[in-house]
Structures are given as C-alpha cells and as structure tokens.
Amino acid sequence: MSTDPLKLLLRVQECDLSIDQLLYRRRELPERGELARMEARARELETRRSRLDTDREDRARRQSQIDSQVATFASRIEAIESRLRQGGDYRDVQAMSTEMDSLTRHRRALEDEELEIMEQVEVLDAELESLAGEASELLKDRETVSARIKELESELDAGVEASRNERSALALGLPADLLSSYERIRARLGGIGAARLVEGTCSGYHLKLPSSERERALNATPGEIVYCDQCGRILVT
C-alpha cells in the first residue's frame, strides 16, 4: 500500500465517490417509482370496488323490498281469490276484481323491475370479479417489486458498508489537516475534494493550468498541500 498521503487521499476520494453513487442509486431506484404507480392503481381499483359494492348493495336492498311487496300482494290476491270463489254481493265482487286487477298489475311491474335489477346485479358482479382479479394480480406484482427493492437496498447497503470500512482504514494513514481540508472542499464542491493533475490539466476542473501553476504543483515539497488555482481542489500530481 502506498504511504504517499496524496495517493492515499485519491483512494479516499474514490471511496467517497463510490459511497455517494451507491447512496444515489439507493435513493433513485426505478423500482420505487414503479411501486408507487402500482400503489396508485391499487387505490383506484379500491375506490372503484367500493363504489360498485355500494351500487350492488342498493340494488340488493331494492330487490328484497320488491320481494316482500310481491309476497304481500300475493297473499292479498290469494285472499281475494278465495273470497271470490265464495261469491257474494255483485258490488263487492266488482270491487274485489278491480282491486285484484290493480294488485296483479302492480305485481307484474314489480317483477319486471326485479328482473331488470337482477340483470344489473349480474353486470356489477362481473365487473367486481374482474376488479378483484386485477387487484390480486397487482398485489402479487407489488410484492415482487417490494421484495426486489429490499434485495437491491441490502446489496447497495453492503457496498456502502464495504466502501466505508475501506475509507476508514485509508483515512487512518492521512494527516489530520489534509483530511479535514479535503472534507471541507469536497462538501463545498459537489463531492470532489482532490483532483489529479493530468498532463497539465486539473481533472477537477478540466482546464489546462497556467505553466507557472503546473510548476508550483510539480515542485511542491513533500507534505505540502497544493490547491488548484482554478477550482480550489487539492491537486495530486
């Protein structure tokens, strides 16, 4: 292992960048967006299901009202029929048949309404069934994506931990003032605190340095920290 503090610093820089990238990936996992879309869809399905359920309950309630009305009419009709069989006063008979006609008409209308309701309930049931199918598929997909997210998170966490351990070990070999200077610059300049000087160009800034500055960097005494005049980063030759 190189003991040149600046070379060590570059390796610390690599570790820091790799930690930053892993944390960024962890934060921005595309699966998270996918999961959020699935959850929004699940909420839509649930709203729709609850509306259909209410519709269905209303119809079932109306159906049982009809059933009990029809039953009342039927027993009334039966009573009249048995009275009619006994015969009687002409006006009574006339009134009874008028009432029976009216009851029969009403009953028929109710039965028609009931048939219509049963058809509507059938349609609602079919739609509820298809919603339930989609919801259960969606639940499975959500579980798969959630599991995938957990898996990726723990992979990334393991990577972060490994890089952090490596970084701690490397940082032990750095003079405290160099490390704290690096950390301050890194915090200020988007994660990069130390840059290599490559063919006269600061790799932190990507501009060729004036030759006087190049000289200054190349001729620095061991242990001296040279900062890039352009971007302020620690220059490593």
Contacts of 99 (CB under 8 A, 6+ apart): 80
Residue 205 in contact with Zn ion, rule: CB under 5 A: yes
Question: What's the closest the beta carbon of residue 6 comes to Zn ion, in angstroms?
Answer: 14
CA distance 134 to 140: 10
Report the residue from 204, 213, 214, 234 that binds Zn ion according to the rule CB under 5 A.
204
Residue 228 in contact with Zn ion, rule: CB under 5 A: yes
Residue 234 in contact with Zn ion, rule: CB under 5 A: no
The position carrying tokens 């009709």 is 77
Report the residue from 9, 202, 226, 236 that binds Zn ion according to the rule CB under 5 A.
202
* Alpha-helical segments (H) within the chain: 5-27, 30-85, 90-171, 176-188, 211-218
Residue 73 or 182 having the CB closest to Zn ion: 182
| Piece of the chain touching Zn ion by CB under 5 A; list 79-87, 108-116, 158-166, 224-232 | 224-232
Query: Comparing C-alpha atoms, which of 149, 113, 120, 197 is closest to residue 38?
Result: 149
3-state secondary structure of 43: helix
110 within 8 A of 41, measured Cβ to Cβ:
no
Total number of residues that touch Zn ion (CB under 5 A): 7
Q: What is the dihedral of CA 160, 165, 166, 170, to 10 degrees?
A: 130
Query: Comparing C-alpha atoms, which of 159, 78, 60 is closest to residue 114?
Result: 60
Residue 178 or 202 having the CB closest to Zn ion: 202
| Piece of the chain touching Zn ion by CB under 5 A; list 69-77, 98-106, 175-183, 204-212 | 204-212
Residue 73 or 205 having the CB closest to Zn ion: 205
Residue 230 in contact with Zn ion, rule: CB under 5 A: yes
Question: What's the closest the beta carbon of residue 230 comes to Zn ion, in angstroms?
Answer: 5
Question: What's the closest the beta carbon of residue 175 comes to Zn ion, in angstroms?
Answer: 21
Give me the residues that bind Zn ion (CB under 5 A), please: 202, 204-205, 228, 230-231, 233
